[in-house]
């Protein structure tokens, strides 16, 4: 009996340490070599007394089967959870048993938690709302033009639509993808319209906000998602891309004096929400943000 009494606390303590003090995380996506996600989550772990590892995974195949192989590998290797980025956010919904309301609403997930059942949430959605409201007053939101209807575009569109009574105009090179997002927004009681390539110029001049939710501007896909002559006349701009922080799109928007919501804000707040989802620990938003910016050497003028 004495041996049992002594071993029980040891077994319990080992389980506690493995479950609550070690957090094995990852990111699945394309072109992620320069992601700051590992630095952010390791930093958050240090602040909360957790031993966090965060690894990057770029699957060999961009198919749903390729993603499932990757997600199963992480689960089998004992990962606590993972983030998901381009181009897997929508297909990732097929690999989970339970979707939180944000993931169901958006139809995509960027954050998965492993356990007795695999759970999905969309912290791009919540993170964008936190990012936008930290930079702009509600009266400034207005009607918008969203460039890109993929996973992040969906999260941003649903987040923005929940904050503003203005119309969300959606453009995507894939008319089918843009149309599907517009239909989903309208089914949920929001105001949204599809924008054709030929309409970009006229629509861009009628909106208050212009948002890049495409991968264009990323260091591996440089450029600007819209003709430069259409930038100007709006009030504010957002770019989901954060590597680099100062994209050509944002440089152009700054040059015509638009208010800026940078990709760093979405990156930071979705990361904070992901960490809280995995750990159930509330982070000090302001303190963590300032400390991480200092540690990372980020130029505050760009965010």
Average pLDDT, rounded, for the chain: 93
CA distance 162 to 112: 23
**pLDDT recorded at residue 12:** 40
CA distance 265 to 208: 19
Architecture of the domain defined by 126-265? 3-Layer(aba) Sandwich (3.40)
pLDDT in tens, 169-179: 999 999 999 99
Residues of the chain with CATH 3.40.50.10860: 2-123+268-294
Q: Return the biggest CA–CA distance within the chain.
A: 81
Residue 149 main-chain phi, psi, to 5 deg: -120, 25
CA distance 149 to 47: 36
* From 1-5, 86-90, 183-187, 252-256, the region with the lowest mean pLDDT: 1-5
| Other Cβ atoms closer than 10 A to 104 | 15
**pLDDT recorded at residue 5:** 30
pLDDT in tens, 232-276: 999 999 999 999 999 999 999 999 999 999 999 999 999 999 999
Assign 20 a pLDDT band (cuts: 50, 70, 90): low
**pLDDT recorded at residue 9:** 52
For residues 145 and 207, the answer to whether their CB atoms sit within 8 Å is yes
CA distance 8 to 10: 5
Q: What is the CATH number of domain 2-123+268-294?
A: 3.40.50.10860
The model's pTM is 0.91
* From 9-18, 40-49, 89-98, 186-195, the region with the lowest mean pLDDT: 9-18
| Beta-sheet strand order (sheet of 259-261) | 192-194, 168-171, 144-147, 209-212, 236-239, 259-261
| Other Cβ atoms closer than 10 A to 256 | 12
Name 106's Cβ contacts closer than 8 Å, sequence gap at least 6.
122, 124, 125, 154, 155, 158
Which residue bears the tokens 């089967």?
65
Residues of the chain with CATH 3.40.50.720: 126-265
Q: Dihedral (C-alpha) 90, 96, 97, 102: value to the nearest 10 degrees?
A: -50
CA distance 112 to 229: 40
Question: What average pLDDT does the segment 134-159 reach?
Answer: 97
Question: What average pLDDT does the segment 177-203 reach?
Answer: 97
29, 196, 229, 242 from 202: Cα distances, Å: 35, 11, 11, 28
């Amino acid at each position: 009996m004495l041996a049992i009494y002594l071993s029980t606390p040891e077994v319990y303590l080992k389980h506690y340490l493995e479950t609550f003090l070690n957090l094995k995380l990852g990111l699945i996506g394309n072109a992620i070599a320069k992601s700051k996600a590992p630095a952010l989550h390791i930093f958050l772990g240090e602040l909360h007394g957790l031993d966090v590892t965060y690894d990057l995974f770029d699957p060999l195949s961009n198919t749903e089967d390729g993603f499932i192989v990757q997600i199963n590998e992480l689960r089998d290797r004992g990962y606590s959870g993972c983030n998901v980025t381009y181009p897997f956010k929508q297909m990732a919904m097929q690999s989970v048993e339970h979707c939180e309301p944000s993931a169901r609403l958006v139809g995509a997930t960027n954050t998965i938690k492993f356990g007795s059942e695999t759970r999905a949430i969309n912290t791009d959605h919540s993170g964008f709302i936190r990012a936008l409201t930290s930079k702009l007053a509600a009266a400034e939101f207005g009607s918008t033009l969203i460039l890109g209807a993929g996973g992040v575009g969906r999260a941003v569109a649903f987040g923005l639509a929940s904050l503003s009574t203005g119309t969300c105009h959606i453009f995507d090179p894939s008319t089918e993808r843009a149309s599907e997002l517009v239909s989903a927004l309208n089914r949920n009681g929001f105001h949204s319209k599809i924008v054709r390539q030929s309409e970009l110029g006229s629509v861009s001049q009628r909106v208050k906000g212009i948002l890049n939710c495409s991968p264009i501007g990323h260091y591996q896909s440089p450029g600007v998602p819209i003709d430069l002559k259409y930038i100007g006349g709006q009030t504010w701009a957002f770019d989901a891309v954060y590597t680099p922080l100062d994209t050509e799109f944002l440089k152009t928007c700054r040059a015509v004096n638009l208010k800026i919501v940078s990709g760093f804000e979405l990156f930071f707040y979705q990361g904070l929400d992901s960490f809280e989802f995995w750990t159930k620990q509330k982070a000090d938003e302001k303190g963590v943000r300032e400390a991480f910016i200092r540690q990372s050497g980020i130029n505050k003028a760009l965010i």
